[in-house]
A and B are shown apart, each in its own frame.
Chain A
């Protein structure tokens, strides 16, 4: 992004900017968040992903105001020429909505009282706030449950109450901390779509923390990946999948085998067991000559039954039906294990097979 467009973006209402944010905890030599800079455009859904301990929750808490960074700034665009510095503003004053990992629903209040609490804090009259709470509950499909106790709700319903409670105050920014992690797998699938739909409808700027890459890809417009407090890459799900910037991103996102490779101009050469195969290289950023890894995804490989074309030899050690296709696990001659997408015809466990590159560009990352 260029400087000018950055400035416009920063000051647009609802834009949230983290600028060189660092946070250390006493007794821990490594910073939890390390010089992190990130811009979330107005109305954008950005997911922060990373393994546990990567600093994503700390980043979220800094954005929310529950933590103050040791250095760096948090800025909020509010339509003025320059964005406002809110680094030291208390959570009460920020006017953000937050959905907590365990939802943090007030157990002694009914559903509607929970949703109306933010309005109560803003001095909205009781009748008005309950009416607005019911509207918010309608929007998340919980019309009939306003008078229930929150403890009588299922996990999915609690999640929706938490969302309604955060949205009813019309927050400038919505922050979500692992909002799907407490749901069982089937429910989780449908809640992903529902969450994205609701957030899109409200048009709110949202920062969403998850350790689950599938959640991030299903809900977010862009995904930022953290490792040990540092930002590794930020981009659309497609970018992260097809053009990972580092090994860590490639390994975290989707299934991939990373094998050593050489750069040959626009192409990449992978040599296994003395058999060298070429493919188009995808990533432009990597300088030739440096040590590289090719990112072999199941769809970038095919099984090869004939000996006419050069292929790597291996043994099928496993197969998994995955809806429209079958994924084979193949151990190659050099011991590397790759996953290969196929149609399910032939190739049982224990049979020998050939593996070659499909006609798709292959991503490469620095070793």
Chain B
């Protein structure tokens, strides 16, 4: 633990801090306040309508069920898989751990699309099962809250898996040895030692799943069927012109999210321990011969299950639009879907849109979030606590709510009220992406800066370096891993963003995700899948680019680390 010795802020840093505070108040707080104010525009009328509307109460109930159900489902999949892969050695382990995080690489809407192709009423798996059982009707319908939770289990178990795996990697296995040495059975060991010590990891993952599921839009939008959740209900109200009601729904959703955040944070913080020993992973072979025989088969099946959605999207991207009706698999294959995208300027436009908008948003994130992290971690500027809080806020507010806030605030030019007309222009989406990604980029950079020995900056200044030189030669290299990782995640999120986009887009700046939905709506599955594949490739490109940057950084820069 480093004792932070932070010098009093100079006027330059203080001014920067105030500027950043103003920026966040304007972009993060103001729109949400506008939503809350808007919900009272007709007095309590909209609130009364919300409280007496069966559809809205149903949506609130549905939202909570989906959030809790997703947490439970993600835990059921993620925890055993994390234990299996970090603690056990078996044939196929490497392959399985290689693909275990694959669902996270699917942009939200693409994952939903893949599930539609696989498990939807006319999906491949559905039809296979139907034929095998000789049924007239599909064996299931992928709709309603159960379907939403099912899709979430696939896309969100990754959070649990990653958090618990990381927790197990840091886990001091001598604690388990100590417990077994003292005579503890497996059950006692798990109940009294292992699980309590993993509580921070579990709570962190549960928080992430809960928040994501609470604000989830794509799955309920596509698979919801008759079931309602708040995030989609907001869009319905807005499209119906019931803006006041949409504001109430948004406020309720945001308040639920913030309350859940506070509750889970409290749980997470209550148990935090320092592991004294060296974390050491020892994978043991299995003793039971039955398990030894079954595990590789289980691993193979899981790998299939995880790869299938990706494979399906790729397959369908080569299917001729309109040809796939009642067959098990698409009957005709063609390159036309891709050819059309490349040739038709209108069809290519969503791709350039997404790339440009995410580049702009992410560049802004890099600059602003570095400045925030610097002020929060390395200075004593006034208002830095407030700054840290505001920078984390967009994370707690579901994307639909952020989008609606922007729509409510920036729908007119009123410079005296600090309102500008962005709605209907190109700029509204980059602004939305920028706001949504502030928390992730800031916390990544903060993480790196906290590992830096703060006396290094003092040392540089003591050697006569200007603040600027110290920043460039000492602080920036230290922040670099977080900066690269954070902007990578932000870029990936922005290029595939759907939820805020679908609320705010106009035809001219429609991003890939919105176009995918439009193609699905017009039953052009092949084209939709081709877009999805391009989106996946973009995500891959960003990830590989970041890895390359990161690799170069570690080769050329000595690691700046505290003792």
Contacts and interface: CB of A to CB of B under 8 A. Distances in A.
A107 B273 contact: yes
A106 interface: yes
Interface string A290-324: 00000000000000000000000000000000000
B192 A117 contact: yes
Nearest to B176: A104
Contacts of B278: 102
B449 to A, nearest CB: 26
A121 B182 contact: yes
B523 interface: no
Given A107-B275, A108-B196, A120-B192, A102 B172 contact: yes
Contacts of B184: 92, 117, 120-121
B177 A91 contact: yes
B183 A92 contact: yes
Contacts of B197: 106-108
Contact of B273 (A92, A94, A151): A151
B458 to A, nearest CB: 29
Interface in B266-297: 271, 273-278
Interface string A115-154: 0011011100000000000000000000000000001000
Given A117-B192, A120-B188, A151-B274, A104 B183 contact: no
Nearest to A149: B273
B154 to A, nearest CB: 32
A103 interface: yes
B341 interface: no
A102 B177 CA distance: 12
Interface residues of A, number: 29
Contacts of B182: 97, 117-118, 121, 165-166, 169
Given A121-B184, A121-B185, A169-B183, A98 B178 contact: yes
Given A100-B177, A106-B193, A95 B183 contact: yes
Contacts of A117: 179, 182, 184, 192
Interface string A215-242: 0000000000000000000000000000
B274 A107 contact: yes
Contacts of A97: 181-182
B334 interface: no
A66 B177 contact: yes
Contacts of B275: 107
A120 B408 CA distance: 60
Nearest to B178: A104
Contacts of B175: 104, 106
B276 A96 contact: no
A64 interface: yes
A132 B276 CA distance: 26
B323 to A, nearest CB: 55
A91 B276 contact: no
Interface string B162-199: 00000000001011011111111100100011001101
Given A102-B277, A107-B273, A108-B196, A121 B172 contact: no
A104 B277 contact: yes
Nearest to A113: B192
B185 A92 contact: yes
Interface string B474-491: 000000000000000000
Contacts of A105: 276
A122 B184 CA distance: 8
B32 to A, nearest CB: 38
* CB-based closest 9 A-B pairs: A118-B182, A107-B273, A104-B178, A121-B183, A102-B277, A104-B174, A121-B184, A98-B181, A102-B276
Interface of A: 64-66, 90-92, 94-98, 100-108, 117-118, 120-122, 151, 165-166, 169
Given A98-B178, A98-B181, A102-B172, 14 more contacts: A92-B184, A92-B185, A94-B181, A97-B182, A100-B177, A100-B178, A103-B276, A104-B172, A104-B178, A106-B179, A108-B199, A117-B182, A120-B188, A166-B182
